[in-house]
Amino acid sequence: MSKLPVLEIFGPTIQGEGMVIGQKTMFVRTSGCDYSCSWCDSSFTWDGTGKDDTKMMNAEDIWEELKGLGGDGFSFVTISGGNPALLKNLNSLIDLLKEKNIKVCLETQGSKWQDWFFDIDELTISPKPPSSRMETDFDVLDTIIKRVANKNSEKHVSLKVVIFDDQDYEYAKKVYHRYPNVPFFLQVGNEDITTTDNEELVRGLLNKYEWLIDKVIADHELTNVKVLPQLHTYLWGNKRGV
């Protein structure tokens, strides 16, 4: 059976981001990313610091670990990374989860296509704004969005852009106008991904959230959007595995 590079498995927790925010879920975080965003809060998946924690696991191993942590108390699994879309053989895990009647959510940045995108119940595509210092390949993103637009209507897709500054906001508007039929989320960027001072972190994040909401309220172009915090950071700060 084919193996997958897994950096961490955790939960049950709540999905802190995007279209299913608040959803009780388990997490599977894969290793490796084709990007290196300047503010990545999961850089241990790609900068070498998480190498010793990465285990090669097959789908059954992952399922056993999920059951060990969550028992019968979950029906939803979120796959994130790194970029899980680097893994062609991730379909082995997605198929097994489906067999077990588990809903599958997946987070990716929209830089790579995989055919198993069609099988994800809640697919979040999160193209990266200028502050990340990554460059969006809009040809690739166009192709991905065009393909998933024809997904079975019980499967959902959304776009989520993280915002740190005015330039990011302009980028988000461009993405919004380019894909007008895809549910669109703006997410507050966390500028301090290392602090352990949660009170100060939350104060800063709340200010940033208000700043972003004020911009959207005043904006006559961004009408059908949802503005969200990264909820888990308001609860648990920069802690890993929550």
Ligand X SMILES: Nc1nc2[nH]cc(C(=O)O)c2c(=O)[nH]1
Would you list which residues are annotated within the binding site?
14-16, 29, 33, 37, 39-42, 80, 82, 126-128
Q: Residue 166: which residues within 8 A CB-CB, separation 6 or more?
A: none
Instruction: Establish if 2 lies at the interface with ligand SF4 (CB under 6 A).
Output: no
Residue 36 binding partner per list ligand SF4, ligand SAM, ligand X, none, with a CB distance cut-off of 5 to 8 Å that depends on partner kind? ligand SF4
Binding site residue list for [4Fe-4S] cluster = 33, 37, 40
**In the chain, which ranges are continuous DSSP H helix?**
59-70, 91-99, 138-148, 166-178, 198-218, 231-236
Q: Considering just the CA atoms, what is the radius of gyration of the chain in Å?
A: 17
Q: How far is the CB of 236 from ligand X (least distance, A)?
A: 8
Nearer to ligand SAM, 13 or 108 (CB): 108
Instruction: Establish if 83 lies at the interface with ligand SF4 (CB under 6 A).
Output: yes
Closest CA relative to residue 159, chosen from 208, 198, 125: 125
Q: Are 189 and 169 in contact (CB under 8 A)?
A: no
Instruction: Establish if 107 lies at the interface with ligand X (CB under 6 A).
Output: yes
Instruction: Establish if 187 lies at the interface with ligand X (CB under 6 A).
Output: no
- Give CA 194 to chain center in angstroms: 19
- Give CA 99 to chain center in angstroms: 23
Q: Read off φ and ψ for residue 68, nearest 5 degrees.
A: -60, -35
Instruction: Establish if 28 lies at the interface with ligand SF4 (CB under 6 A).
Output: no
Using CB under 6 A, pick the residue from 25, 78, 109, 136 that binds ligand SF4.
109
Nearer to ligand X, 39 or 174 (CB): 39
Which positions touch ligand SF4 (CB under 6 A)? 33, 35-37, 40, 42, 45, 81-83, 109
